[in-house]
Amino acid sequence: MGEVIRVAYQGAPGAFSEDAAVSYFATPGTVCLPQREFMAVRHAVLAGVATFGVLPIENSIHGPVTASLAAFAMGGLEVIGRIACPIRLCLLAAPAAQPEQLRRVLSHPVALGQCRRFLAAMPLLEAVPFYDTAGAAEEVAARGDTTSAAVASQRAAAHYELDIIARNIEDRADNHTRFMIVARAVSSADRDRAQRARAAGAAIAASRHHAAAMGGARVQSVRERGS
């Protein structure tokens, strides 16, 4: 059994920071630990509850994620890796909700700022800031209110069993966020663990890609023999 890697991130399950954690540490032994605030991510890493943390640095549309950078600036953490992830925003609502019924849309202020054009085209929608994109999806699902919506990810839609009213509502197709992977400062052992975990994840991904390619080749060979 491989080593368990505990990674803290801000947000509820289905958050984009969780996507970043899963992408960076692509191993079966990765356990993601949701935290409500960026400062809680810092505390989790410093307290040893999590080996690593994921903190967003900057979004290509919105700019720097100041609250995250402020948590890092408190000290005690060092950057041991970075990853950039595409951000594909969806408008989510409770099952059976109709677009014309929607009156409020919940999401993190950064996400709301990334889809201003889409929201401007729906003047009846009141934008309501929430602590997290996935947390907003969780709230909409819990309410079951067909007048409320959330801006969040496709992963969040699946996790909270919400309908996707609209996809790719971000203002720019190249929308992405850069994240930093952090650990307790002066921790060469943690840096080595992160590198091993990422290398193992890359090996697993490469193996899956090779298996898929070989499967396609075998299918093509059978077709050629049968023709």
Q: How far apart are CA 110 and CA 141, in angstroms?
A: 21
Written as six digits, the tokens of 21 are 């954690």
- Between the alpha carbon of residue 186 and those of residues 37, 56, 199, the distances in Å are 24, 21, 21
The residues annotated with a catalytic role in the active site are 177, 179
| Contact by Cβ (8 Å): 97, 165 | yes
Q: Measure the CA dihedral 135/20/54/67, to 10°.
A: -60
SS3 call for 225: helix
